[in-house]
Structure 1
Amino acid sequence: MNKSQSSKHHTLLIIGAGASGLMAAVTARDLGIDTAIIESNDRLGKKVLTTGNGRCNITNKSTATGTDEALNLSSKYHSNQAEFPLPVLRQFGVRQTVDFFNTLGLPLIAIENGRMYPMSLQAASVLNIFQIALEDRNVPIYFKTKVLDVIVSEGHPRFSIQCQTENEGEVTYTSDYLFLCTGGLTAPKTGTDGSGYTLAQRLGHTLIDPVPGIVQLKLDSPYLAELSGVKFEGWGHILVNGEVIRSEYGEVLFTNYGASGPPILQLSRKAAYQLGQGKRVILSLDMMPDRTEEEVVDFLDTHWGMFGHRTVANSLIGIVNKKLIPVLLKEAGMDEDQNLLCQDMSWKTRKALCGLMKRWNFIVTDTNGFPNAQTTAGGIDTRDLQEGTLESKLVPGLYFAGEVMDVDGDCGGYNLQWAWSSGHTAATALADRIAGKR
C-alpha cells in the first residue's frame, strides 16, 4: 500500500511503521485525524515478524488480574523514571489490547506463562490485519522513504520532514503534529537503526545511553567449549559488589561464548548497565533450586556415603548433566585426580562441590550486541516528555511512542504491550488536544 506521494501535507505524520506506529495510526484515524506514515522499509512492521519466534507475542495476560493491572505491570518495565510507564499502562493495558485486536478481527490465545499470540500463531497475521485496517481507513504509507531531518517552525505547518525517497529523490512532507515511532537499535536489518535518536537529539532531547536488552551474556571461563549446549533448570543471580541486584528462574543454556536462556535474557539489562559503569559483574548459578544449601550438603553427603566405592565422577551421573561433571570436578580442584573415590574425598573437595551446586560463579565480560538483542534499554529521556500523553515538553506537537523512549520491558510480550499502549495513548492525547480537551 504505497500511496501516491503527491499529497505532501497531513495533520499527523508518524515516522515508523513498527508496532507503536501502526497502533498510533489506526487509533488516530479512528479519532478523525488525517494521518499518514513514513517508513524507510519497503513494507510495514518488519521487526514484528521476528517477535515470539515468528509467532508474535502480542502481550501477556498474567498481569491482567487484580484491581490495578498497571501496578502489576509496572514491575515488568524499566526506565530512568520508574513510574513513567504507569499512566500509559493504566490508559491502555492488556484488556484493552485484547479488545482492540478483536475489533480488527485478530483473536488472541494464551499459550504458556500468560503469553498471548494471534490464534494463527503467525506474526505475519498481525501485519496482514494492520495492513487491512490501514487500507480500510485510507491511511497512506510512504514506503522507502528515509527521514533526513525535521524542521520545526512557529507558523503553519509546524513540522517540515525532509526525506530521501527511492523514486522521487528528496521530498519534504509537512504536518501539524509529528509522532516519533522509530524504535531503538535492535535488529538494525529491519530498520531500527537508532536514527530516531538523532532526530530527537537535534530537537533538543537527551539520550539515555542505549544498551542491548533481553540478550545473551558473555562469560569469562576456560570451560565454555565443554559446557556449550548444556541446559538446566535453576536460578541465575546478578551480583555487583557481592550483592544480588536481580534474580531470575528458568532454563539456563551454556553457549560457546557464555550463557543464554530466559533467565539470562531477563538479567542482561542489569548486567549491561553495571558493566557500562565499570563494575565487576558476576553471574551466579544455582543448579539445585529446590534445596537449600544445608539440604544440598545433606543430600550429597548421604549419596556419597551410600556410594563411597564409586568415583566422584560416577557418583554425579544422574544428578547433573553428564557434560557438567568433568568441569565441576576441575572447578572443585580435582584436575589431577578425576578417578578419586567418594570415600577418599576430602572435606575441602566436598564443600567445594556442594558450593558449586548452589553458587557457581562466572565473571560477566559483556553482552551480545544489538543484532542479537530483543529490545533496547535506554533511549530518549522520559524526563523531557509529558507523563500520560507522551508529548514533548520541549517541542509542542511532537509525541513519542514505543522503543525510542527510555522504557523497556521484560521478555514475554511486555515490550509489544508498551508499543500498543504508548501508540494508543499518544494518539488519544493528540485527539483530545485537537478537540480542545487538553
Structure 2
Amino acid sequence: MYESNTSKHHKLFIIGAGASGLMAAVTARDLGIDTAIIESNDRVGKKVLTTGNGRCNITNESTATGTDEAVALSRKYHSNQTEFPLPVLQQFGVRQTADFFNTLGLPLIAVENGRMYPMSLQAASVLDIFRIALEDRNVPIYFKTKVLDVTVSREHPRFTILCQTETEGQIVYTSDYIFLCTGGLTAPKTGTDGSGYTLARRLGHTLIDPVPGIVQLKLEYPYLKELSGVKFEGLGHIIVNGEVIRSEYGEILFTDYGASGPPILQLSRKAAYQLARGETVTLSLDMMPDRTEVEVVDFLDTHWGTFGHRTVAASLIGILNKKLIPVLLKEAGIDQEPNLLCQDLSWKTKKILYRLMKRWEFIVTDTNGFTNAQTTAGGIDTKELKEGTLESKLVPGLYLAGEVMDVDGDCGGYNLQWAWSSGYSAAMALADHLAGTT
C-alpha cells in the first residue's frame, strides 16, 4: 500500500480524458455514479482535436440503415475476436451517438461518404461541449496527473492509484471501480503513450502486440521522388505469398517515401501485421479499375492503332497523370527511347504496359509509424474482457474502453464510434452492477 499526505476517493475513477473517457464520464455521472477523471495532459481530448483533419469525424452513418445496423457496423472493426465489438455496438450505435450529441447541444451533419461531423466542422466544438457537460455535472478532472501504478485489494477501497502530479508530487487516489481509457500508441504527443498497456499488464492482462493502423505505407522504389504528389483513382491490393488479402478503391497518392490516400490507409493494418510477422508484403496498384485486363488490352491497342504516329509518351497524355508517364516508361524499359512511336511498340513492351496499368507492384518496407497513424491495431486481449460490459474477467471492477483494447476500426469515423460505444457500454454495465441487475 502506498503512503501519501494527500488522498482522494471517488466511486469511479476514469483514467484518461480522451473520447472514450469523456463519454464514460458523462454517462456514468448521468447514471448517478460518483465519477472523477485522471488526465496526464492539461486539458481533455487532445487527440480528438487531430481527428477528421481538425473537423472531428464523430461517426459514420453509412451503416445506419435496416434491421441489421449493428451487424453492418461491426464489420468495420477488427479484433482477434471478430464478434467482440457487436454487443457493444448493439447497445450504442450511430443513431444513439447522434442523439447523444444532440442532447448535449452539438448537432451533427453528414458531409461525405456517410461521415458525420459537428455542424460547426470544428473538432474544438466537441471538446467545448464535453467541457460544458462535465462542468454541468460537477465531474472533477485531475489534470497534469500521471498514473504510475494501480494496485488491487480485497478490502475497501478496492483500487489504489499511485499518481505523479506537477504541484503535489506523488499522490494516492482510491476508488471502488476503474475505467481504463488511456488509448493506444498513436499520436504520442497527445498523451497516448501506451501507459495503459503497462497498467493492464501489471494487473494480469495480456497485450496483443500493437501495430500502427490507418497510416501511410513506405515503399521500396527508386523513383518515388518523381512520383511524389501524383494522385489517381485506383484500386490497391495488399499481397502476401501470392494471395490478395485486402483490396480498397479510392484516391491513391504517391509520396516521396511511399503511398497514402484513403485506400492505402485502409490497407495499412493488414500490411503492418504481415510485416511484423516477417512476411514480404507487396502493394499492387490498378490504375484502370473500371476495366478488366482484356478491356485494357483492347482499349490501349485501339488507342495506339489510332495514334500510331505519336510517341508512346504522348499517347498516354490524357489517360494517365502526366508525372506518371516517364516513370511508367522507365518501368517498361523504354525510357531511353523518347521518340519511340506507338506503331513501333513491340509485343513484349505492350504486355509490360498492359500489366503495369492493372498490376503495378511495389514492395512495402514499413508503415509511417505510430506518430502518423490514426489508430492502434492490437492492444489488451479482448478474451480477458466480458462481452458487452467490457469488465475485466481477471480483475472485477476494472473496465476498459476505447483504443486500449484489441479493437480498431476502418477509416471514416469508426474508431471514434468505438470510443463512444465502449465508453457508454462500460458506464451502463457498471450502473447495472451497482443496481444489482447483473
1:372 equivalenced with 2:392 (yes/no): no
2:26 — aligned with what?
26
Over residues 127-183 of structure 1, what are the superposed CA-to-partner deviations in whole Å (9 max), with x where a residue is unaligned? 000000000100000000000000100000000000000111100000000000000
1:113 counterpart letter in structure 2: N
Q: How far apart, CA to CA, are the structure 2 residues paired with 1:377 and 1:346?
A: 47
Q: By how many angstroms is 1:6 displaced?
A: 7.0
Look up the match of 2:348.
Answer: 348
Alpha-carbon shift at residue 345 of structure 1 (Å): 0.6
CA contact (8 A) 1:329 1:338 kept: no
Mapped partners of 1:144, 1:339: distance in 2? 66
Partner of 1:110: 110
Q: Which residue of 1 aligns with 2:271?
A: 271
Q: Which amino acid aligns with 2:237?
A: H
Residue of structure 2 equivalent to 1:155? 155
Residue equivalent to 1:222 = 222
Partner AA of 2:75 in structure 1:
S
- Cα distance, 1:7–1:33 mapped onto 2, change above 3 Å: farther
1:336 counterpart residue number? 336
Instruction: Quickly say closer, same or farther: Cα 1:101–1:208, change in 2 above 3 A.
Output: same
1:118 and 1:270 map into 2 onto residues whose CA distance is 31
Q: Which residue of the partner structure matches residue 254 of structure 1?
A: 254
Question: Does the CA contact (< 8 Å) of 1:60 and 1:94 recur in 2?
Answer: yes
Contact 1:84 1:382 in 2 (8 A): yes
In 2, the alpha carbon distance for the partners of 1:344 and 1:187 equals 53
Q: Distance in 1 between matches of 2:292 and 2:257?
A: 30
- Find the aligned partners of 2:276 and 2:168 in 1 and give their Cα distance: 43
Q: Output the CA distance in 1 between the equivalents of 2:254 and 2:410.
A: 21
Q: Distance in 2 between matches of 1:229 and 1:22?
A: 38
Greater shift in the superposed pair: 183-192 or 68-77: 68-77
**Percent identity between the two aligned chains:** 85
The corresponding residue for 1:326 is: 326
Q: CA deviation at 1:336?
A: 2.5
Matched with 1:10 is 10
The Cα shift of 1:191 comes to: 0.3
Q: Is the 8 A contact 2:239 2:281 kept in 1?
A: yes
Is there any run of 5+ residues in structure 2 with no aligned partner, and where? none
State the 4+ residue runs in structure 1 displaced beyond 2 angstroms.
none
In the alignment, the residues of structure 2 paired with residue 122 and residue 354 of structure 1 have an alpha-carbon distance, to the nearest angstrom, of 45
Contact kept? 1:40, 1:146, Cα under 8 Å: yes
Which secondary structure does the structure 2 equivalent of 1:251 belong to? strand
Aligned residue for 2:119? 119
Question: 2:192 is matched with which residue?
Answer: 192
Indicate the residue corresponding to 2:211 in structure 1.
211
Give the aligned partner of residue 175 of structure 2: 175
Question: What residue in structure 2 maps to residue 423 of structure 1?
Answer: 423
Give the whole-Å Cα distance in 1 for the aligned partners of 2:212 and 2:410. Answer: 12
Q: Distance in 1 between matches of 2:339 and 2:435?
A: 80
- The equivalent of 1:412 in structure 2 is 412
> Displacement, 1:74?
1.6
The CA deviation string for residues 226-272 of structure 1, in whole angstroms up to 9 with x for no partner, is: 10000000100001111110000000000000000000000000000
For residue 42 of structure 2, what is the aligned residue in structure 1?
Answer: 42
Q: Distance in 2 between matches of 1:136 and 1:436?
A: 28
The aligned counterpart of 1:138 is 138
Corresponding residue number in structure 2 for 1:239? 239
Instruction: Tell me by how many angstroms 1:7 deviates.
Output: 6.8
| Aligned residue type for 1:316 | L
Give 1:68-83 correspondences, 5 Å limit.
68-83=68-83
Give secondary structure in 1 for the equivalent of 2:112. Answer: coil
Assess, with a 3 A threshold, how the Cα gap between structure 1 residues 7 and 34 changes in structure 2: closer, same or farther.
Answer: farther
CA deviation vs aligned residue, 1:386-438 (integer Å, no higher than 9, x gap): 00100000000000000000000001000000000000000000000011011
**Pairwise CA distance, 1:332:** 1.1
TM-score (norm 1): 0.98
What CA distance in whole angstroms lies between the structure 2 residues aligned with 1:210 and 1:307?
A: 53
Report the RMSD for the aligned CA atoms in angstroms: 0.9
Say which SS state the counterpart of residue 370 (structure 1) adopts: coil
**2:391 — aligned with what?**
391
| 2:6–2:172 CA contact under 8 A, matched in 1 | no
* 2:298 aligned residue: 298
Equivalence for 1:402: 402
Question: Counterparts of 1:160 and 1:153 in 2: how far apart (Å)?
Answer: 8
Q: With the length of structure 2 as denominator, give the TM-score of the two structures.
A: 0.98
Alignment match, 1:85:
85
Structure-2 separation of matches of 1:275 and 1:148: 32
Q: In structure 2, how many angstroms separate the alpha carbons of the residues matched to 1:81 and 1:290? A: 35
Query: Runs of 5+ in structure 1 lacking a partner?
Result: none
Structure 2: distance between partners of 1:64 and 1:82: 20
**AA in 2 matched with 1:389:** T
SS at the partner of 1:372? coil
SS at match of 1:8: strand
Q: Structure 1: how far apart are the matches of 2:330 and 2:261? A: 24
Report SS of the residue matched to 2:10. strand
Amino acid paired to 2:370? F
Q: Does structure 1 conserve the Cα–Cα contact (< 8 Å) formed by 2:7 and 2:174? A: no
Aligned residue type for 1:410: D
Letter in 1 for 2:155: G
SS of match in other structure, 1:321: coil
Q: AA paired with 1:52?
A: G
CA distance in 1, matches of 2:437, 2:127: 33
Q: For 2:118 and 2:418, how far apart are their aligned partners in 1? A: 17
How far the C-alpha of 1:338 sits from its partner, in A, is: 2.6
On the 8 A contact 2:7/2:171 being kept in 1, the answer is no
